[in-house]
Amino acid sequence: MDDADPPRDPGARATGDRGPVEPREATADGPADPEATPRTRSPGRGWSGWPAIGLVIALLAAGVALQQRSVADEWRDRALALELQRDEAVGRAEALSSQLDELAELQATTSSELDALTERLAELAGEKAEAEDRALVTETERDAAGRVAQQVASAVRGLDACILALLDLRAATVDAFNRVAAGRSVDVAPLNAQSDAAIALCNEARAAAAAAGSAASSLG
């Protein structure tokens, strides 16, 4: 018999790859060896508190999970609410865009009508001004014609005076010739003066007639 391999205790239980475990010498009732010190329990080795700790941890985890689920639910609700708001805003934006298009179209129409009205107003103002021009021209021509008429009348009066003066001069001249023929003396000084006056009147009449003629010509 080989002493290197001690005989296997039939009570030993093989534990996997660790091989048979040597049975403990100590028992629950006390050490087999009265001189051996009692074994103390090492932590983690056969401690019965782990289930409790596990339970606490599980409860804590469950609580955290419930709290997280609640928070997640809140966030989801908020997101849904925001999405609803966004959809409403999109709808309002589309409605406003549609209204803006309508207003732009209306403005274009109004602007076009305003341009047409402005042009019409300018035309009417122009027609009014042209009518006033024609009226003024008529008035001016009438005034000019009136002045010409006055000038012609003045010239006519001058010519009348000239003719009368010449007739008076002729009568005085004939009288003077008769006196001379009768052998009487004649003072020619008054006759000369009368002649000068008649000439002056006639010259004035000629000038007035010329002016009237010129004015009449300018009326054209």
Partner 1 sequence: MRVAHPRRRAASPAPIAAVVRVAATVLTIALVGCVPPPPWSDDGRTDLEAIAPLELDAAREAEALRRAREVTVRIRSIGCDRLGVGSGVVLPGGLIVTNRHVVGSPRRLEVTTWDGVGLEVVVDGVALDSDLAVLRSADPGALPAAALRDAPARVGEPVIVVGYPEGGPSTITTGDVVALQDGELFDEPAEVIVIDAEVRPGNSGGPVLDADGLLIGVVFARDPERRLGLAVPVGTLLDRLDAAALAPPDDC
Query: Which residues ranging from 151 to 210 are in contact with partner 1 (CB under 8 A)?
Result: none
Residue 21: phi and psi, rounded to 5, are -100, 135
Cα–Cα distance measured from residue 152 to residue 208, given in angstroms and rounded to the nearest whole number: 7
Nearest C-alpha neighbor of 163 from the set 210, 207, 199, 211: 199
One of 4, 7, 15, 182 touching partner 1 (CB under 8 A): 15
Q: Any alpha helices (H) in the chain, and if so which ranges?
A: 50-181, 188-219
Q: Is 131 in the site for partner 1 (CB under 8 A)?
A: no
One of 31, 36, 80, 102 touching partner 1 (CB under 8 A): 80
Shortest distance, position 135 Cβ to partner 1, whole Å = 10
Residue in this structure with the two tokens 């010329």, named with its chain if needed: 210
Q: Write each residue from 35 to 74 as x if it is in contact with partner 1 (CB under 8 A), else as -, in one continuous string.
A: ---------xxxx--x--xx--xx-xxx-xxx-xx--xx-
Q: Which region, judged by CB under 8 A, interacts with partner 1, from 115-123, 162-170, 180-188, 190-198?
A: 115-123
Cα–Cα distance measured from residue 166 to residue 195, given in angstroms and rounded to the nearest whole number: 8
Cα–Cα distance measured from residue 126 to residue 123, given in angstroms and rounded to the nearest whole number: 5
Nearest C-alpha neighbor of 200 from the set 152, 166, 151: 166
Binding site for partner 1 (CB under 8 A): 9, 11, 13, 15, 21, 23-25, 27-28, 32, 44-47, 50, 53-54, 57-58, 60-62, 64-66, 68-69, 72-73, 75-76, 79-80, 83, 87, 90-91, 93-94, 97, 118, 121-130, 132-133, 136-137, 140, 143-144, 218
